[in-house]
Amino acid sequence: DIVMTQTPLSLSVTLGQSASISCRSSQSLVHSGGNTFLSWLQQRPGQPPRLIIYKISDQFSGVPDRFSGSGAGTDFTLKISRVEAEDVGVYYCMQATQFPHTFGQGTKLEIK
Amino acid sequence: EVQLVESGGGLVQPGGSLRLSCTASGFTFSRYTMNWVRQAPGKGLEWVSYISAGSSTIYYADSVKGRFTVSRDNAKNSLYLQMNSLRDEDTAVYYCARVNSFGYAFDYWGQGTLVTVSS
């Protein structure tokens, strides 16, 4: 199974500042078809997960452009520019290149 | 508007069975691959099962293989998860999630249904 490792596991950010979360996979996430199925999900308190980024860097519909994804192969990053109060929650990376699909442990974002 | 609504959760004793349902609306259900994902209380996300649009391809996590069965009825816009031989560690909120058609990610999630396995 592909192991997804996120760092840090918690993050305290001042409103208006940026935040960065790293996700590393135990093997390459490049699919045989050439795509890399790495996505990022946000889970606000008491809510189901919500897709924010897919295929490393594509923003899902309705997601503010403050959210951006980057990376390749085994190393990926989610960046949140100008953090707002509504960004509080847990962020997960997820790989869907291979079965079983696997998630990172989650990174809890709070406001300082 | 895309909506996914899970139901069927509840309290069950170890060794018991439960059937979860996920009812879809707002999109052509029969064209989309679906998954089940669960989240134990206070824990992270765990993928459980995958079923293709026409039910021809199915996958399970090792932790549920042989005990859980995923199925769908496209005429009823419904996804199911039959859970047998339940264990304490199956206690979780179970979410159904749609796979998007443009980049294999879980683009819409239901609100979840809580399954509690306890004597």
What is the structure's pLDDT at A99? 96
Residues in chain A closer than 8 A to B44 (CB atoms): 90, 92, 103-106
- Tokens 């990174």 identify what position? A107
Q: Is the pLDDT of residue A13 over 90?
A: yes
What is the structure's pLDDT at B58? 98
Query: Would the CA dihedral through A43, B71, B60, B67 be positive or negative?
Result: positive
- Across the interface, do A100 and B61 touch by the CB < 8 Å criterion? yes
pLDDT class for B39, splitting at 50, 70, 90? very high
**Phi then psi dihedrals of residue A74, to 5 deg:** -125, -5
* B60-65: average pLDDT: 98
* A97-106: average pLDDT: 97
- Identity at A66, one-letter amino acid code: R
Mean pLDDT of chain B: 97
Q: Is B42 touching A (CB cutoff 8 A)?
A: no
Residues in chain B closer than 8 A to A50 (CB atoms): 109
- Across the interface, do B44 and A106 touch by the CB < 8 Å criterion? yes
What is the structure's pLDDT at A90? 98
Number of H helices, E strands in chain B: 0, 11
Least Cα separation, residue A33 to chain B (angstroms): 12
* B89-100: average pLDDT: 97
Q: Is the pLDDT of residue B103 over 80?
A: no
Q: Is B68 touching A (CB cutoff 8 A)?
A: no
Residue A25: strand pairing partners: A4
Q: Is the pLDDT of residue A59 over 80?
A: yes
DSSP string computed for A40-92: EEEE-TTS--EEEEETTTEEPTT--TTEEEEEETTEEEEEESS--GGG-EEEE
Interface probe for A, chosen from B1, B45, B46, B51 (most Cβ of A below 10 Å), is: B45
Chain mean position to CA A103? 10
Angle at B35 between CA A79 and CA B99, to 5 degrees: 55
Helix, strand or coil for residue B109? strand
Q: Are strands B113-117 and B10-12 parallel, antiparallel or unpaired?
A: parallel
